Amino acid sequence: MLKKDRWLLPEGVREIMSPEARAIEMSRRKILDMYHGCGYDLVQPPFIDFYDSLLTGMGHDLELMTFTLTDQLSGKLLGIRSDMTPQVSRIDAHYIKDHHPSRLCYLGEVLQSRLDDFSQSRCPLQAGAEIYGHDGIESDIEIIQLMIKTIRAVGVDSLTLDLGHVGIFRCLSEQAELSDFDREQLFEAFQRKAITEIKAFLAQLNLAQEYQDAFINLVNLHGSIDILAKAREQLNYPDIIKHIDLLEQAANKLQQLTPNVKLFFDLSELRGFNYHTGIVFSAYIEGHGQAIAQGGRYDGIGEKFGRARSATGFSTDLAHLVEITGFHQNSQDWEQLKAIFAPAVDEGNESLCLAIEKLRAEGERVICELKGQTVDYDKMNCNRRLVCKNKVWLVESI
């Protein structure tokens, strides 16, 4: 490598310095403590794992995202986790034999072979929580609340919650007896809400007019809570009505529990369609073009690991969350890095040692002089110093 290229970093990889690194770490602690307080057990799945188990239950969504390497010991293909959810599901399916609902949380680096749309990063710091073994709206609500708390813990107040239900599109595809291939084509156009293409595609399939209308209506069903009533009229199939009822129940509860969160409904939002089975949700904040946290119900992922359990959860990239919420504008973060400068400790100077340890125990940052160094308080980020007056060590500002 040429000398001038040594500073280059791989695409989507960055070095994080203080105070940002510190801000991320503080958020990490805060969030894990909060999950702990809410009864979520922390799990730490391995960073590398067998490739097949990393992809289990997630459809094709993670295939291209996962870095692979060969295990010299077993000859098998290993992968570096690109999403911790399947690993956490495996932990629930395999180690937790109990039939009680289990609450698990995780926080760690994942590695993605492609740049993520959201963060333009290939190594997000994934934080998330999951509830297994409860099939009902209550667990979805708890997870959504926890997601909102996570975002608020990083310092964001106003956010929009986008709610949808992948079962509606799935039901309609089944009713209309679409083949897997056709459904995938339609799904792709739905992701882009490309109405013109959807119309042309449906017409070409020779689908009954009833279903053509239903699909076109579905793609337009996004907006405030009023669209749920409209959805009931336009998609009057018993199974779909059940899903809409569920969404409405969730919406009503969320309005009571988190009145400051703006709710938005999008019945044609199909993110994670390959593994989600019920309510899906994501959070958006002002000035950011992509969702900042997302999740949903994914019953049945555990089945692939030998134990089918209902599941719902969310995840976010904590490093990116801290980055976009403007840690650097937060003078508090800078302030926390300011230190007290203490003179070098000579032998026998126990009172100085004690003074330094006392300050550190109080949470202060104390930097000790190294013999022979030059002293520039600004460069060392010190705004106070320790001085001895009448045999007492005192802190004075510089």
Binding site for another protein (CB under 8 A): 117, 160, 162, 191-196, 222-224, 262, 264, 266, 284, 286-291
Q: In angstroms, what is the minimal distance from the CB of 48 to another protein?
A: 28
Contact 109, 115 (CB under 8 A): no
Based on CB atoms, which residue is closest to another protein, 119 or 277? 119
Minimum Å gap between C-beta 252 and another protein is: 20
Please state, in angstroms and rounded to a whole number, the distance separating the CA atoms of residues 81 and 385: 46
Rounded least distance, CB 179 to another protein, Å:
20
Q: Which is nearer to another protein, 200 or 394 (CB)?
A: 200
State which residue, 152 or 222, has the beta carbon closest to another protein: 222
- Tell me the closest approach of the beta carbon of residue 372 to another protein, in angstroms: 51
Rounded CA-CA distance 242/229 in Å is 13
Cβ nearer to another protein, comparing 160 with 274: 160
Q: How far apart are CA 343 and CA 386, in angstroms?
A: 7
Q: In angstroms, what is the minimal distance from the CB of 284 to another protein?
A: 5
Question: Which is nearer to another protein, 324 or 356 (by Cβ)?
Answer: 324
Angstrom distance (rounded) from CA 328 to CA 373? 30
* Residue type at position 240: I
Distance from chain centroid for Cα 55: 18
**Nearer CB in complex with another protein: 34/263:** 263
Distance of CA 73 to the CA centre of its chain: 33
Query: How near is the Cβ of 82 to another protein at its closest, in Å?
Result: 17
Give strand pairing partners of 279: 165
Neighbours of 49 (CB within 10 A): 18
Helix (H) or strand (E) holding 68: strand 68-70
- Tokens 């994501």 belong to residue: 282
Omega into 259 within 30° of 0, i.e. cis? no
